[in-house]
Amino acid sequence: METRAAQQENVRFVLTGGDVTVVKSTFPSWRGAYAGRVPRRPPRSSLGLEFVDTVVDSPSLGMVADSVRKDLAQAAVGRGDPVLVLFLAHYLGKATLEAPELLRPRLRAMLVGWEIEELTSTLIEELSGADVLLGISDFNTSVFARAFPGTPAITVPVCPPLPSKAEPDRALWGLPEGTIVFLNVFNTVSGFDRKNPIDVHEAFRRAFPDRDDVRLVFKVHGGFDKNPDEGELTGEESRAAEFLARCAADDRVILVDEQLDYKTVLSLVSSCDVYVSLARAEGLGLPVLEAMALGVPTVAMDYAGHGDFVRPGSNVLVPYDVVEIGDDASHYYHPREYPTRPVWAQPRLDDAAQLLRELADDPELRLRVGEAGRVAARDFERRCAESTWVHDLEAALSSPGVRAAHPDRDAAFRAVVDRDRAMWLEHERVVRRARRNLRWRTRLGRVKRTLLGWPRRSV
């Protein structure tokens, strides 16, 4: 597999006199679009806009929506004609069915989460109708800026209220005292290959081939879609099945797959000694940030969304190579979905194993990294609170360049939406027809049982 040097430039837009200029910056974009200033209080809003949240079933994007609402309220943003829409990538057409007000002639700022350096062909079409693009991390923003060099791109720094403490309870999780416990949290719905728990286990196995004083805990959200006995598996499904088999064969591994509330998850994080993420790409990566806030030392890669807050000293950083995504990847990461070959980070597992050994053997190192991570998480939280992104967005929407380009962008928006709305309307018709048929079959079944004298089925 080919690799290339891992580099990520920080690209942001500066608005000067209505013109849009791309500049390179060593500072996060939330430090303000004007000469890097950071006002203690965001300027009062004057333009006004409408925020439309079309994502209702995604916990992570739900946090984004809450953060946006809070920032708009603090900036005293009133109702205005421009609209800021938060939507799920590849679902813009469906978003307009749920929020038809998006179809009105108006300026549109689009906020969408994304994880890798390339955009799918579908997402490129969707974002081509945006007058302003918003990313949830500097990594997101730089990806949008490269894909759409003529469109202002602004970072909306997302930082939900971070936990300050959580009660550890090793007995609850069956974690023996005197062992060093590593933890990884992942959601299968977000992509098993992208979250990459199998490499976490491989690094653990290489680090501790025959030690019994270590444990590895996986907290799984979303479950696994298919049992290996239920037919042919895709590439990602086969790797998930291999992961489950490896966990079952290693009695040092604990798999926690029941649904837990947020407080209980934080208790699990606090009960462990080290948090490990080898995710190949993240839009932001909140689990690492939450572990840092609790003072748990974290192992991660300084790549993609993690790059907004992981640093040497406050995190243990794993070297990596940026590699092409394979042809057996799951749907949204499959190369056929992209105009150019997509890439993500591949951790160097021998290096990762060495770092895990060092953390296991050095309690002072764990304490030092954990405390530095706690300070770094609070610093990130502070910088997010000082963001001027609302002011930057209003400046972009008011600029003559954006308003002059709006007719072309509006035409691109409507071309995509008209096509996708027809697809989603047909999908809804099929679903409604299936539900109607199911109701009638259920009623007829009840009538049949009554006429034949069969006992009624218990539910």
Identify whether 49 is part of a domain: yes
User: Which CATH number belongs to the domain containing residue 209 in this structure?
Assistant: 3.40.50.2000
Q: Which of the two residues, 432 and 280, has the higher pLDDT score? A: 280
Asked whether residue 281 falls in the same domain as residue 237, the answer is yes
pLDDT tens for each residue of 162-171: 998 899 999 9
pLDDT at 29: 35
pLDDT at 459: 47
Given pLDDT bands bounded at 50, 70 and 90, which one contains residue 225?
low
Residue where a domain stops, chosen among 383, 405, 422: 383
In the chain, the percentage of residues whose pLDDT exceeds 90 is: 67
pLDDT at 230: 54
Identify whether 74 is part of a domain: yes
Identify whether 430 is part of a domain: no
HSE-CB of 86 using CA atoms within 13 angstroms: 23
In the chain, the percentage of residues whose pLDDT exceeds 70 is: 86
Identify whether 140 is part of a domain: yes
pLDDT tens for each residue of 378-400: 999 999 999 999 999 999 999 99
Identify whether 175 is part of a domain: yes
Q: Which of the two residues, 381 and 61, has the higher pLDDT score? A: 381
Asked whether residue 367 falls in the same domain as residue 402, the answer is no
Asked whether residue 297 falls in the same domain as residue 329, the answer is yes
pLDDT at 355: 98
Number of domains in the chain: 2
Instruction: Give the structural domain span for 378.
Output: 170-383
pLDDT at 454: 78
Compute the average pLDDT of residues 179-191.
93
Asked whether the predicted pLDDT for residue 341 surpasses 50, the reply is yes
Comparing C-alpha atoms, which of 14, 333, 378, 306 is closest to residue 138?
A: 306
Asked whether residue 245 falls in the same domain as residue 195, the answer is yes
Length, in residues, of the chain: 459
Given pLDDT bands bounded at 50, 70 and 90, which one contains residue 79?
confident
Identify the weakest region by mean pLDDT among 63-72, 109-118, 231-240, 256-265: 231-240
Residue where a domain stops, chosen among 339, 366, 383: 383
Asked whether residue 337 falls in the same domain as residue 367, the answer is yes
Asked whether residue 71 falls in the same domain as residue 201, the answer is no
Comparing C-alpha atoms, which of 150, 219, 233 is closest to residue 188?
A: 219
Asked whether residue 121 falls in the same domain as residue 197, the answer is no
Asked whether residue 282 falls in the same domain as residue 328, the answer is yes
Asked whether residue 94 falls in the same domain as residue 219, the answer is no
pLDDT at 231: 57
- 314 three-state secondary structure: coil
Compute the average pLDDT of residues 304-313.
95
Residue where a domain stops, chosen among 383, 403, 438: 383
Identify the weakest region by mean pLDDT among 61-70, 359-368, 400-409: 61-70
Given pLDDT bands bounded at 50, 70 and 90, which one contains residue 325?
very high
**Average pLDDT of the chain, as a whole number:** 86
- 300 three-state secondary structure: strand
Identify whether 163 is part of a domain: no
Identify the weakest region by mean pLDDT among 202-206, 323-327, 443-447: 443-447
Asked whether residue 215 falls in the same domain as residue 228, the answer is yes
Q: How many whole angstroms separate alpha carbon 413 and alpha carbon 416?
A: 5
pLDDT at 109: 98
Identify the weakest region by mean pLDDT among 28-32, 123-127, 203-207, 298-302: 28-32
Identify whether 447 is part of a domain: no
Compute the average pLDDT of residues 401-416.
96
